[in-house]
Amino acid sequence: MRLFRDAGIDGAPDPGTRRLLRILATLAFLALVLTPLAIRRFSSASDVAEAGLSPRAALERYGFVLQEVSADIGIRFSHQAPRLDPKLEPIMPAVASVGAAVSVVDFDRDGWQDLYVTNSGAGSLNALYRNERDGTFQDVAAGLGVADVNRPGTGASMGAVWGDYDNDGYEDLFLYKWGRPELFHNDGGRGFTRASERAGLPAWINANTAVWFDYDRDGWLDLFVGCYYPAELDLWHLKTTRILPESFEYAQNGGRNYLFRNRGDGSFAEVAETMGLVSRRWTLAAAAADVDRDGDPDLFVANDFGINELYLNQDGERFREVGREASVGRAPKSGMNAAFGDVLNRGQWSLFVSNIAEPGVLMHGNDLWVPTSDSGEVPGYRNLAGAMGAELAGWSYGAQFGDLNNDGWLDLFVTNGFVSGEKRDSYWYDYSLVVGGNRNIIADARNWPPMEGRSLSGYQQDRVWLNDGAGRFRDVTRAVGAANPYDGRAVAFADLWNRGVLDVVVAYQRGPLLVYRNTVARKHHWIAFELEGTRSNRSAVGAEVRLYWAGMERVQQVEGGSGFAAQNQRRVHFGLGPASLVDKVVIRWPSGAVQTIDSPALNALHAVTEPR
């Protein structure tokens, strides 16, 4: 197999250099395989030993069990991957390996959570599954005008986030794509009107993430969009094959990111450069939270092939990048997820960033950044993924924090698997050969060996990590019923049947959408909050809810997108374990208003409107 072409590439090595690179790559690969790290495996002994637990036994032992019910509730969705320019055909499975996404929304305000799911093949249809309130779902996307969005010439869907950008009480849809981004105005839950041009969106970008947040706290939702490839690339009609990252660790030849400031009249102004969000890294995920506790939302950006970035909001006037100072930007490689959660019940934001691990080859693993301090000018973090048992999962993508067993501690659901090919033979050795090249070699798709149906970190399984409340996560994936053979991308949590539990929805690349109905032990209590802003944005995105109970404090927030290509329900859900009393709840609205609720009722959903 020829790794490099003989002509036509600037910087291509001569034959002697090619032989040397092959030798070095082979030695590096063998060294990795023979290292003691190679014997480390992702499945814990406890998970393997307890894989045969009955659902009843799992419920008794772990406090919850998951049942996959998609077909039973009317959801039969299969994701189609995009087919890009034929020049990329030898490595098409790798370059077209994203696009499966899921977001949760109550688009018709009936009090029941609905699901929007993206497809990516030319002419394929996205789905909007309306909750029928009888245990089933119906796809209404075509009738409402948000299905046929992947027409040839318009690009491919990569994900979607919902937010009420005009404060009319109904969540609107932003669809980010490799191609033409789209904004759909929600017409009172009865249909959607395309508003992309009026909003002032660009004609073509190559985006892989978006987050609604009100960065200037003016009461109108703004929009951050993170891009992977440069906007000038039409991946279906390439003029060059030099489209890939220039480095596996410090690439800066990706797409620029965008910040759209809401003018309040249905249009947006693009202000990324003015606000200091200038970056050309390969962005895959983003999430917003007030990490320095100064009252305005900050932004974390997870980048592939390079360092991650943490932008502190300077009173809505500018963002300051402090990733290295805070330590969260010191771990280069492949940031593929961004999710905030209070894993220690200290009222502080921790951050989970998924990454790649492959036995015997690459053991960087995931990052779980836990705050050492959230006071001072720059918050500090340390990576406790290894110490807490959340480091090694596989080729990880989307992940979310949520209290799956309502015991009062946030658990983690992590999706895994990159490309499961027709063959189980691994592409990793050939992958390592490319790593040995210079930037000109790496960046040109013509230099990559053909995959020929082989797998690259394929046939992995998702991970359900249960927080034991003592600083460790336990792998209970098989025991609770969440093992499957698909390549996971996006995961979202929602109380789909209004039972006071978090159900799980997972989108798989070139695979199905799976819905897991969660059954939780009755001894565990819960409380939830549905917020609506008045002075703040109507969606209440960015509102913090602090719960004080049993000597602990936990913070959660209304999110405008998190994880990878995903959005959880806006409803804020807390598990309480056996607690019989919540001392108080303190809500800090994006406007700065603070509202306290003493001794709220347990096992209930509380609808709260911001005081005017």
In tens, the pLDDT along 25-38 reads 444 444 444 333 33
User: Same domain, yes or no, for 140 and 180?
Assistant: yes
Residue 431 lies in a domain: no
Residues 591, 471, single domain; the answer is no
Cα distance between residue 191 and residue 181, in whole Å: 19
CATH number, domain containing residue 521:
2.130.10.10
Domain boundary residue, one of 502, 525, 548: 525
Query: Burial level of 225, CB count in 10 A (0-12/13-18/19+)?
Result: buried
The answer as to whether 30 is a domain residue is no
For residues 494 and 548, membership in a common domain is answered with no
Whether 62 and 211 map to the same domain: the answer is: yes
Decide which of 508, 525, 542 is a domain's last residue.
Answer: 525
The pLDDT score that the predictor gives to residue 53 is: 87
pLDDT digit string (tens) for 337-371? 999 999 999 999 999 999 999 887 777 899 999 99
Instruction: Kindly provide the b/e burial profile for residues 116-140, where b requires at least 16 CB atoms within 10 angstroms of the residue's own CB.
Output: bbbbbbbebbbbbbbbeeeeebebb
User: Within a domain: residue 511?
Assistant: yes
Mark whether 312 and 231 lie in a shared domain.
yes
Output the domain CATH number for residue 546: 2.60.40
- Asked if the structure places residue 498 within a domain, the reply is yes
Q: What is the residue range of 532's domain?
A: 526-609
Q: Are strands 155-163 and 172-179 parallel, antiparallel or unpaired?
A: antiparallel
CA proximity to 372, closest of 400, 399, 401, 351: 351
446 lies in some domain: no
Q: Residue 360 falls within a domain, yes or no? A: yes
* DSSP strand pairing (525-532 vs 605-609): parallel
Q: Are residues 485 and 575 in the same domain?
A: no
More confident position, 43 or 200: 200
Query: Cα(86)–Cα(237) distance, rounded to whole angstroms?
Result: 9
Give per-residue pLDDT as tens, 221-273: 999 999 999 999 999 999 999 999 999 889 999 999 999 999 999 999 999 99
Structure tokens at 181: 């981004």
pTM of the model: 0.93
Please report whether residue 550 resides in a domain: yes
By three-state DSSP, how is residue 222 classified? strand
pLDDT digits (tens, 9 = 90+) for 111-123: 999 999 999 999 9
In a shared domain, residues 501 and 541: no
Cα–Cα nearest to 304, from 209, 234, 387, 389: 209
Q: Domain total for the chain?
A: 2
Is there a single domain that holds both residue 149 and residue 123?
Answer: yes
Residues 6+ apart with CB under 8 A from 197: none
Q: Residue 377: pLDDT band by 50, 70, 90 thresholds? A: confident
Answer yes or no: is 8 within a domain. Answer: no
Same domain, 564 and 496: no
Q: Evaluate if residue 546 carries a pLDDT over 80.
A: yes
Question: Residues 582, 549: contact at Cβ < 8 Å?
Answer: yes
Closest by CA to 488, choosing from 467, 512, 465, is 512
Same domain, 358 and 268: yes
- State whether 507 and 394 are in the same domain: yes
- In order, the DSSP letters of 164-179 are -TT-SSS-EEEEEEEE
Helix (H) or strand (E) holding 435: helix 428-435
Whole-angstrom Cα distance, residue 508 to residue 3? 31
Same domain, yes or no, for 48 and 155? yes
**Contact in structure between 199 and 183 (CB atoms under 8 Å):** yes
Given a contact cutoff of 8 angstroms between Cβ atoms, the answer to whether 261 and 271 are in contact is yes
Alpha carbon distance 296, 313 (integer Å): 6
- Cα–Cα distance between 428 and 454 in angstroms, integer? 9
